Amino acid sequence: MITTQHITAEQLHETLKNIKVGGSACHYSLKKCEEFVPLINEIRELKEEKNAVILVHSYVSPEIIYGVGDFVGDSYALSKNAMQTKADVIVFAAVRFMGETAQILNPEKEVLVPAALDGCTLADCIDADQVRALRREFPDYTFVCYVNTTAEVKAECDVCVTSANVYRVVEQIPNDKIYFLPDKLMGQNLANEMRRRGVKKDVRYFSGTCYVHEEYGEEQIFRIRTEYPNVKVVSHPECKPAVCEQSDFVGSTSQMINYMMETESKEFLMLTECGLSSRLQKEFPDKRLVGTCTLCRYMKSNTLEDILRVLKNPAPSDRVLIREDIRQKAARCVEAMFAYTRQ
Ligand code: 13P
Ligand code: SF4
């Protein structure tokens, strides 16, 4: 029997009314909520009918997170949710590499990616041939890939990491020689953090960057600190080392939320994608966000309309399909991360 919980426009408006990020696209009037509600309720019904689960990254639009999402989180938490779910279908409202990670861990399930633009400047900047060439050039190095990579790239690497566990995993790797890819800035932050912890590692890194996080500079932090002397600056490890060094806390998107929750201060500068700011405005209305945030065009290309479409009638391109030999090799790389994080 289907017992879908429907939502009313008034309930959705009550949930989203404090969110005011960027332009009018991220303000939620009752009228706007009235337009979303029929789509949300249809998705909720289909989700039950198909035994589907909807995983949503924090950068995705709030009407998706709070309207239809079953789990919201950073890429590490979402990959664990994907591993534990009993659903037959996983709809991954995020970007393709996250859907691929879910498929790597769940070969028997159907994984659907609704994003119209499903790329990521990091995941798109390196392919498997380039990794094979680097391995020939640096044969003594352990190849560590950020989760923001394709399944083919993961299949060529030894260990996967996410922003939530990169330092913890790399410090446990027995080899002193680490090749980190594809994020140059995260690679530099990794090398600095290993030095700070007194862990001897020769860290080489690839040349990729995230176009959202590389925009932030330390001048922005200095300006905000002059205006708001008590502000806490919170950044993501995809930001430049100079930005991370000037921050009070650096961590994954979920760790950034936890830091805000546990910190007395009332004012925060969050140096990451705007979706996180929207979540914080909804979940911590008494805290004040200062400064601006940046949008990720890929994450923001997820819509309720496309989620409904992939649940109803997925096109071949909405499905994540990975060749079985590649999936098995990529799974070893992702499972190596879980083995390190369990220790
Ligand atoms: P998190 O794993 O911290 O959520 O980061 C994912 C991402 O793409 C950041 O740009
Ligand atoms: Fe990729 Fe950057 Fe968007 Fe994250 S914010 S999905 S790293 S482009």
Nearest ligand to the C-alpha atom of residue 94: 2
Q: Read off the pLDDT of each residue in 266-278 and give the average, rounded to a whole number.
A: 94
**pLDDT reported for residue 64:** 97
- Opening angle at CA 299, ends 334 and 38, nearest 5: 115
**pLDDT reported for residue 17:** 92
Ligand 1 closest atom vs CA 236? 3
What band does 25 get if pLDDT is binned at 50, 70 and 90? low
Residues framing ligand 1 (Cβ under 6 A): 74-76, 148, 162-163, 210, 236, 238, 252-253
CB 90 within 8 Å of CB 112? yes
**What does pLDDT average to over the chain?**
95
> Ligand 2: which residue has its CA nearest to atom 1?
120
**pLDDT reported for residue 202:** 98
How deeply is 262 buried, as exposed, middle or buried, from its count of CB atoms within 10 A (0-12, 13-18, 19+)?
A: exposed
What band does 45 get if pLDDT is binned at 50, 70 and 90? very high
Q: Is the CB of 210 under 6 A from ligand 2?
A: yes
Q: Is the CB of 212 under 6 A from ligand 2?
A: yes
Residues in CB range of 239: below 8 A, 6 or more apart: 185, 189, 213, 214, 216, 247, 250, 271
pTM: 0.95
Ligand 1 closest atom vs CA 147? 2
Identify the structural domains of the chain with CATH numbers, from first to last.
9-117+299-312 (3.40.50.10800), 123-209+323-342 (3.40.50.10800), 213-289 (3.40.50.10800)
Whether residue 257 is predicted with pLDDT greater than 80 in this model: the reply is yes
> Ligand 2: which residue has its CA nearest to atom 6?
120
User: Following DSSP, what letter does each residue of 7-36 receive, concatenated?
Assistant: --HHHHHHHHTT-B-SSGGGB--HHHHHHH
**pLDDT reported for residue 4:** 80
Question: What pLDDT digit, counting tens, does each position of 97-153 carry?
Answer: 999 999 999 999 999 999 999 999 999 999 999 999 999 999 999 999 999 999 999
Q: Read off the pLDDT of each residue in 87-105 and give the average, rounded to a whole number.
A: 97
- Opening angle at CA 244, ends 238 and 249, nearest 5: 100
Name the token pair of 264: 């007395």
**pLDDT reported for residue 24:** 59
Q: Is the CB of 95 under 6 A from ligand 2?
A: yes
Question: What pLDDT digit, counting tens, does each position of 298-316 carry?
Answer: 999 999 999 999 999 999 9
Say if strands 288-289 and 232-235 run parallel, antiparallel, or are unpaired. Answer: unpaired
Q: Read off the pLDDT of each residue in 156-180 and give the average, rounded to a whole number.
A: 98
Closest CA to 310 of 31, 149, 29, 118: 118
Q: How far is the CA of 233 from the centre of ligand 1 (A)?
A: 17
Ligand 1 closest atom vs CA 299? 8
